A and B are shown apart, each in its own frame.
Chain A
Amino acid sequence: MGVFERFLKPNTLYYPGCLTSTVLKELEKNYDALLKLSGINYIKIQNIYCCGSPVRNAGYTNDFEKLARKNLEILKKYNVGRIITSCPACYHTLRSAYREVLRNEWNIHVLHTVNVLWDAIENGRLGVRETKNDGIKVCYHDPCHLGRWERIFTEPRKIIKTLGYELVEMERTMLDALCCGGGGGVKANYPELAGEIAKERVLEAVSCGADILVTSCPLCYASLKHASELLENKKVRVVEISQLLLKSLHGGRKE
């Protein structure tokens, strides 16, 4: 790519979101690996701000608008035309909430990693290793921000099936999916309440007979995993979808 092209062609940004980049760093590494394996050229921006999802949901609207504007400026500076995020809350915020406050100024295309990775698998850019997952039952927990608020239901399920797992569904799924209990600031404000809801969700996974409960959201993942530990549940393993993918892509890389 020549200097000019590089300059003119808009960049793709991988935006992991604050929870992933500051707390669940291992997930960020996973997505870095998966995006690279899929042959996607992307940049990362160290000094970008929080997308503002928790800020907006807690009612700090002025702060939210400021964050959106500051981020827009940074994104322009880096000539970003496309954002890939692995966080459903960031996805919903960048995709829908930014449009509400920035209106026409916001024209950056936003994608979630489940779309991007499914696309890569479907087009053969991300080769799935011959799988020996027959008979392992996996259920998928729809993150609210990705499912109900953005209507993404099929891609993660296709990924699970492609990896050779048997897809099973919980009692409340897709549009009716039970929240992990952590959204809207509840995890931080009322951890016991969030925990109680997450336990209910884990038990739902147990009763649908799943061996693995997979989700595609860092907060759902952390909440459900925590609840599963509290329940001393040995039946269902809680994993994030990048872990499931990597396991099948590299000869069984550790989760």
Chain B
Amino acid sequence: MDKATVKKLVEDKRLKDKRRVFDTSLKNYRIALSRVLGETDADALKNRARRIKEFSIDNLNDLKKEMIRKMEESGITVHEASSSKEAREIVREIIGSESIVVKSKSNVMREIRLVEYLRSEGIDVVETDCGDFLVDLCEEKDIHPVLPAAHIRLNEIVKKIRQKTGAKVEESAESILAFVRSYLRERITKARVGITGANVLTAEGAIVILENEGNISLVSRLPEKHVVVATIDKIVPTLEDAMVICRAQSIWGTGLHMPSYINVISSPSATADIGGVKLVGAQGPKEVHLVLVDNGRSKIINSDFREALYCINCGACLAACPVYGVLLNNYGGDAYHGGIGIVKTYCFEGLKEAFDRGVYLCTTCGACREMCPLGINIPEMVRKIREECVRNKFELASNVEMIENTRKYGNPFGKVEGSEALEPDKMYCC
């Protein structure tokens, strides 16, 4: 990202306003988190989560094979997708001739740009997560994996609801929610395909999804087909391991000891109550599909970027990041924001994209790593990407001046006759 773009963003009034609105959510989150952490043996939990992820990534291939075997035994169809394109096409095929699908929040769906694709295919895709629904309605962009719409003012939402649906809604959170609830309920009962993500997958064959709103239960139970889109790094050995990850996700994601619901799905719904024969597709879905996305992940298992696979997308690092605090979702990729977003953008989309999305914005302050339940060393990975940038001549003017000075004079400032009045953009330090 170049200097002028960043300057413009910093001075952008609309972005400043979003920050102001979003700040309230962030502050509340920080308070909730520190309270929960005070009541938890956080270090022990972090250690356990870290060990589970390390083991799982070490043994990913075996765990994956085992999981697929178990799932197919219990009637879940597993589709492996090596790229975004493949994943999108698989989902498209499962949807078949249905014209409406309901979906819940999922980062990987954003990563593979599923919604845009399905819409371009003429399918009506309904976001059922309240935040995502509002982002969609207001033609905004999500700014946070857990709080996607926390930057939108209520009057804006009310205006859009009236514009797009004709419904008259009062300017209060309760009134907006009542509208969202009844609007979405109707869509969900109509849809015959529901798509969700997953928080954890287990080698024993379970799909584990957390939620607080209740929409995931509906989306995964009411339609006939439930499609789960999840990435390979979500696999852990057992359900017990999955619960550790769920707890970390809940604590660092929302500041709650546990989420309202944890869905564990290990087969399509079934009954043997009628005449003693097992019938698949009882009161829940008849078909469960897991689209298992790789999209560059197996390539980084043994690279400097392996730790990116430990990420559980809780968003805690964002709350700690000084740069995200100013630039919000302008820092990082579309699906993953902030420093970890830069790392993932690099891994899944490439160097140029990571450069454009702000690999040089990171102050390497390390607050993210401190906050992260998995202790992921994001600044170290950012530095590695910068190395790659230098090798490929993706450089910033200031850095070029800094390195030329250093090569010539042995110090980054060159021949300055010292004064405190040095322009900030000449402060090549740290």
Q: Check A23/B361 contact, CB under 8 A, given A49-B411, A55-B403.
A: no
CB distance from B392 to the nearest CB of A (A): 10
List, in ascending order, chain B residues with CB within 8 A of A186's CB.
323, 360-363
CA distance A188 to B430 in the complex (A): 10
Whether the Cβ atoms of A23 and B422 lie closer than 8 Å is yes
Interface code B340-377, partner A: CB below 8 Å = 1, 0 otherwise? Answer: 00000000000000000000111111110111000000
Whether the Cβ atoms of A190 and B410 lie closer than 8 Å is no
Whether the Cβ atoms of A182 and B429 lie closer than 8 Å is yes
In the complex, whether B327 has a CB less than 8 A from a CB of chain A is: yes
Interface code B313-340, partner A: CB below 8 Å = 1, 0 otherwise? Answer: 0000000101101110000000000000
Specify which of A21, A50, A67, A222 lies most central, judged by the most chain B CB atoms within 10 Å of its CB: A50
Whether the Cβ atoms of A218 and B429 lie closer than 8 Å is yes
CB distance from B216 to the nearest CB of A (A): 32
Query: Of B364, B396, B407, B427, which contacts A63 at CB under 8 A?
Result: B407
CA distance A50 to B427 in the complex (A): 14
In the complex, whether A102 has a CB less than 8 A from a CB of chain B is: no
Interface residues contributed by chain A, number (CB under 8 Å) = 58
CA distance A155 to B63 in the complex (A): 48
CA distance A29 to B369 in the complex (A): 36
CA distance A195 to B322 in the complex (A): 11
CB distance from B235 to the nearest CB of A (A): 32
List, in ascending order, chain B residues with CB within 8 A of A200's CB.
322, 325-326
CB distance from B403 to the nearest CB of A (A): 5
Query: Of B11, B383, B406, B420, which contacts A222 at CB under 8 A?
Result: B420
Interface code A132-165, partner B: CB below 8 Å = 1, 0 otherwise? Answer: 0000000000001100110000000000000000
List, in ascending order, chain A residues with CB within 8 A of B398's CB.
185, 188-189
CB distance from B132 to the nearest CB of A (A): 28
CA distance A192 to B16 in the complex (A): 14
In the complex, whether B167 has a CB less than 8 A from a CB of chain A is: no
List, in ascending order, chain A residues with CB within 8 A of B407's CB.
63
In the complex, whether B425 has a CB less than 8 A from a CB of chain A is: yes
Chain B interface, DSSP helix/strand/loop, else mixed: helix
CA distance A50 to B364 in the complex (A): 19
Whether the Cβ atoms of A18 and B411 lie closer than 8 Å is yes
Number of A-B contacts (CB under 8 A): 193
CB distance from B305 to the nearest CB of A (A): 15
- Tell which of A35-43, A173-181, A207-215 binds the partner: A173-181
Whether the Cβ atoms of B418 and A25 lie closer than 8 Å is yes
Whether the Cβ atoms of A144 and B383 lie closer than 8 Å is no
CA distance A27 to B428 in the complex (A): 17
List, in ascending order, chain B residues with CB within 8 A of A50's CB.
406, 410-412
Whether the Cβ atoms of B370 and A89 lie closer than 8 Å is no
In the complex, whether B10 has a CB less than 8 A from a CB of chain A is: yes
CB distance from B233 to the nearest CB of A (A): 26
Query: Of A17, A56, A179, A219, which contacts B322 at CB under 8 A?
Result: A179
Whether the Cβ atoms of B411 and A197 lie closer than 8 Å is no
Whether the Cβ atoms of B411 and A184 lie closer than 8 Å is no
CB distance from A13 to the nearest CB of B (A): 16
List, in ascending order, chain B residues with CB within 8 A of A148's CB.
365-367, 369-370
Whether the Cβ atoms of A187 and B366 lie closer than 8 Å is no
CA distance A220 to B70 in the complex (A): 55
Whether the Cβ atoms of B390 and A182 lie closer than 8 Å is no
Whether the Cβ atoms of A149 and B366 lie closer than 8 Å is yes
Query: Of A181, A188, A226, which contacts B428 at CB under 8 A?
Result: A188
Whether the Cβ atoms of A184 and B364 lie closer than 8 Å is yes
List, in ascending order, chain B residues with CB within 8 A of A176's CB.
320, 367, 370-371
In the complex, whether B7 has a CB less than 8 A from a CB of chain A is: yes
CB distance from A184 to the nearest CB of B (A): 4
List, in ascending order, chain B residues with CB within 8 A of A24's CB.
418, 420
Whether the Cβ atoms of B403 and A58 lie closer than 8 Å is yes
Whether the Cβ atoms of A189 and B360 lie closer than 8 Å is yes
Whether the Cβ atoms of B406 and A63 lie closer than 8 Å is yes
Whether the Cβ atoms of A89 and B367 lie closer than 8 Å is no
11 residue pairs of the A-B complex, CB under 8 angstroms, read A23-B419, A23-B427, A58-B390, A59-B386, A59-B399, A177-B367, A188-B402, A189-B396, A190-B361, A197-B326, A219-B427
New A-B pairs, 6, CB < 8 Å, besides A144-B365, A148-B369: A57-B364, A58-B399, A58-B402, A60-B390, A193-B7, A197-B326
Closest 3 A-B residue pairs measured CB to CB?
A59-B386, A179-B365, A184-B364
